[in-house]
Amino acid sequence: MIPDVELVRDPSLQLIGEGRSAFVYRIQSTDKVVKIFFPSFTHLAKEEASIYQVLQGVRYYPELHETGPNYLVIDYIEGHTLFECLTKGIEITDKHTTEVDKALRLARAKGLNPSDIHLRNIMITTNDQIKLIDVARFRQSKECTQWDDLKVAFNRFYRLRFFPKKIPAFILNLIAALYKRNLLQTLTRTKRD
């Protein structure tokens, strides 16, 4: 519970996501979501909105419809994150990884530096298109190798004929925790370097 904050449930909003800095609600009877940032992260609302403005018209990213001091309204993306695809056994193909590469190249061509690209920020839509969400860190100066490392794992393990295509969430979360602690470098970097 956040001190001095009164929470009111609005029946027109359906909670569909929660991250480190915000809640995401689908606005009922629309194809839009509102991302409401926690009080200590309101600065990210302006940052993410400005990045979505740069990406307007790039089909791999949601369109920005409205912004405010602690929120933004973007397209609702119907589909599954790559994390959900792995836990449900929905196939991730070479076409999907190629499309993610293209989305990141287009962002770089607009002067951005895509960062924080992981399984929960990449979606496969119901019509088999790729969408990237949560672009707040696309202006960081440090190099982010997360997507390159995911591609190495995809090519080295997931594409193997007998590798399981359905993976329990706790295993994926364990892998993510080990990755964050740099304990998987030999698995991801050896193939790339």
Determine the pLDDT at residue 190. 44
What tens digit of pLDDT does each residue of 83-138 get?
999 999 999 999 999 999 999 999 999 999 999 999 999 999 999 999 999 999 99
What tens digit of pLDDT does each residue of 12-52 get?
999 999 989 999 999 999 999 999 999 999 999 999 999 99
Residue 135: which region, alpha, beta or left (left: phi > 0; alpha: psi -120 to 50)? Answer: alpha
Number of domains in the chain: 2
4 located within any domain? no
Which residue spans within the chain are E strands per DSSP? 13-18, 22-27, 32-37, 64-67, 71-75, 79-81, 122-125, 130-132
pTM listed for this prediction:
0.88
Q: Are residues 83 and 26 part of one domain?
A: no
Is the pLDDT at 162 greater than 70? The verdict is yes
Please say which residue of 32, 48, 75 terminates a domain: 75
Give the whole-angstrom CA distance, residue 70 versus residue 58. 24
Q: Are residues 69 and 29 part of one domain?
A: yes
Q: How confident is the model at residue 10 (pLDDT cuts 50, 70, 90)?
A: confident
Q: Which range marks the domain in which residue 26 is found? A: 13-75
Please say which residue of 75, 92, 124 terminates a domain: 75
Question: Which stretch of DSSP H or E encloses residue 159?
Answer: none
Mean pLDDT, to the nearest integer, of 158-174? 95
Mean pLDDT, to the nearest integer, of 79-83? 98
- For the annotated catalytic residues, the residue numbers are 116
Please say which residue of 24, 53, 75 terminates a domain: 75
104 to each of 93, 138, 161, 172, how far by Cα in Å? 17, 10, 28, 23
